Amino acid sequence: MLELLTDPMHWHFRAEEARRLAEKIDDPAAKAAKYEMADKYERLATRAREWVNRADVPRFIKSPSTAP
């Protein structure tokens, strides 16, 4: 589970899906809320990317996609 939480691509894909769903919503408030959710997922992706690139993160926790 920790690998999923620290995987930037996981959060990026969640953001993309939220945007796809937002495009299908007619209610302006619900659409805005879904786009806000997508923005928050992108921020999580950024934070995860920063976290896995830190030198002090143990090797066994780093995401397989970013490990050398």
What domain range is 46 assigned to?
2-52
**H helices present in 1-68, as ranges:** 2-5, 8-23, 28-52
Q: How distant is the alpha carbon of residue 28 from its chain centre?
A: 24
DSSP class of 15? H
Read off the pTM: 0.73
Q: Between 14 and 66, whose confidence is greater?
A: 14
**Does residue 66 form part of some domain?**
no
Q: For residue 64, what pLDDT is reported?
A: 55
Instruction: With respect to residue 57, please indicate whether it lies within any of the assigned structural domains.
Output: no
Q: Quick check: is 65 in a domain?
A: no
Tell me, what's the pLDDT at 5? 74
CA distance 34 to 28: 10
Residues with Cβ within 8 Å of 21's Cβ and at least 6 positions away in sequence, in order, are: 34
Residue 40 forms part of a structural domain: yes
In a domain, 45, yes or no: yes
| 17 lies in some domain | yes
> Would you say residue 35 lies in a domain?
yes
Domain count for the chain: 1
pLDDT digits (tens, 9 = 90+) for 23-67: 999 999 999 999 999 999 999 999 988 887 876 766 555 555 554
